[in-house]
Structure 1
């Protein structure tokens, strides 16, 4: 039987998460000798505009359940509304450089996280291309080479976004939820960029549900550990800040179990030639207020608490 392997995918959504959360995570990961895959939001931090989601079913419940206002802080909650939105990678280029120098893979999350997450289904294709194009240009300016991987905000995709990713000649993407690497089929079209899905629920999906607390969440994560590949998405605003001690405990417990940690680039190198095709569609999953991209042909649950 295959031993468990874990790929850590780090979503960097905000200016504060970049400034404060990334250095904290780099220190934690260095302590365990782990290399991860970081996806940076490159453009304006318009996090304050997410308040428009207040009318979506489940949004307020999630905010209170995860204590998001205290997690994210006032600077993030007002960014792009009362406070002008900083261009994240332009203001904090040294953070991206430091992450790459530490041996981690650095990819693109987006240009404008809130804009992509909330409005991608209505983007004309040129707007989708422009969003990724601006992010790619700034990435190359900061790091001196082109990006080889992207990961969609909120696991939000469209056939157009997959087509644009193909045109970017990426090595792989991590845009969805599912069980194993695959080539996506959407709207009757097959795309050639490998998808490596997140297989575990995120911390913000679990906290406050089914009695899960910061003290018990790692017990639950250990029940999800399966032979073969496990992909765990973390957020700098959670695991890199207020929940850093909980994340550190999880890594210690996983290390004690002999789990091997890999980057998504290592997963892609092994899976690219043998991965099957599979449907990809936007769907509702437990713990999230908005639909996410879900791999088809396999069961996927986020709330299977034992």
Structure 2
């Protein structure tokens, strides 16, 4: 039995409305539970027009197939918040969030304003981080009338003050980095209690960005597996709308290879938090990614990258 934590990031409203129902149907068919991370505040998809000058961004759009994007997202998806009213993602669709919970999945927070967090990193002011957690939490409480202590940072970009707040709020686990195994975040001499569950596997859109063929992705994922810990992140707009077939092919292949899928809570309850290594956090650019992201320091030398180079 090979454990895989399945994380579903919900960045935009159209991904929540169109992608989540499909992903939930697939997971129900295979008897899988996952942890969903919705943005709780405004849909900031229109801010992506500013990224066209960023190295690698136009290539990413082209590999996603612009015509397929128009068909799947709608012709005005980049204009939301510019010519069209700005809508909220998670809290703007409470009925879908409630369906996620009622289906037995886990729900965490993926920020209030995804674009602001991602764009300000690594210079995130402590006051901003505190306000971001508060505002996302407030939106969650409007829907569920209770607190949420699970956080997954936008673009996998974190800071020490975030762990300070998570410890203060009583969080048991979180996911803000790329890495290879669960750990206790360490900054200087201080070790934080909240367990970090890092993303250990590549994202599908990253593989395609590097030039890997869709039909080769199941084998790539198989090579990236480890026996005791794996985390796979998918996105509603990509696996739930643009690349449904590729997503399901990888999912089926992993199950055939003996993988069992877990929510974060299920994995935490099964493994606990004892005897975890204290690891420092650094930053890295992953193959197919744009810009640096936070990572477990050991991931700089011990990662899945070598499994990709042989296939390019």
TM-score range, shorter chain: over 0.9
Query: Does residue 298 of structure 2 align to residue 300 of structure 1?
Result: no
Q: What RMSD in Å do the two structures reach over aligned CA positions?
A: 1.9
Contact 2:179 2:298 (C-alpha < 8 Å) held by counterparts? no
Instruction: Give the equivalent residue in structure 1 for 2:31.
Output: 33
* 1:224-258, Cα deviation, whole Å (9 max, x unpaired): 22212111001111111121122122222222223
Instruction: Give the equivalent residue in structure 1 for 2:165.
Output: 164
State the secondary structure of the residue aligned to 1:260. strand
The equivalences for 1:170-249 within 5 A come to 170-186=171-187, 189-209=190-210, 211-249=211-249
Contact 1:184 1:277 (C-alpha < 8 Å) held by counterparts? yes
The equivalences for 1:1-306 within 5 A come to 3-67=1-65, 70-71=68-69, 73=73, 74-186=75-187, 189-209=190-210, 211-269=211-269, 270-298=271-299, 299-302=302-305, 304-305=307-308, 306=310
TM-score, scaled to structure 2: 0.90
Distance 1:21 1:281, change over 3 A: same
State the secondary structure of the residue aligned to 1:166. helix
Runs of 4+ in structure 1 deviating by more than 6 angstroms, as ranges, are: none
Question: Please, which runs of 5 or more residues in structure 2 have no aligned partner?
Answer: none
Question: Please, which runs of 5 or more residues in structure 1 have no aligned partner?
Answer: none
Q: How far off its partner does 1:218 sit?
A: 1.8
Contact 1:149 1:173 (C-alpha < 8 Å) held by counterparts? yes
State the secondary structure of the residue aligned to 2:282. strand
Q: How far off its partner does 1:148 sit?
A: 2.6
Contact 1:181 1:197 (C-alpha < 8 Å) held by counterparts? yes
The separation in 2 between residues aligned to 1:213 and 1:92, in whole angstroms, is: 35
Q: How far off its partner does 1:43 sit?
A: 0.4
State the aligned residue count.
303
Q: How far off its partner does 1:8 sit?
A: 0.5
Distance 1:173 1:148, change over 3 A: same
* 1:18-41, Cα deviation, whole Å (9 max, x unpaired): 111111111100000000010011
State the secondary structure of the residue aligned to 2:107. strand
Distance 1:14 1:259, change over 3 A: same
Contact 2:19 2:236 (C-alpha < 8 Å) held by counterparts? yes
Q: How far off its partner does 1:54 sit?
A: 2.7
Q: How far off its partner does 1:13 sit?
A: 0.6
Contact 1:69 1:77 (C-alpha < 8 Å) held by counterparts? no
The separation in 2 between residues aligned to 1:7 and 1:96, in whole angstroms, is: 20
Q: How far off its partner does 1:174 sit?
A: 0.7
Distance 1:90 1:59, change over 3 A: same
State the secondary structure of the residue aligned to 2:119. helix
The separation in 2 between residues aligned to 1:70 and 1:168, in whole angstroms, is: 42
The separation in 1 between residues aligned to 2:43 and 2:92, in whole angstroms, is: 11
Contact 1:45 1:86 (C-alpha < 8 Å) held by counterparts? yes
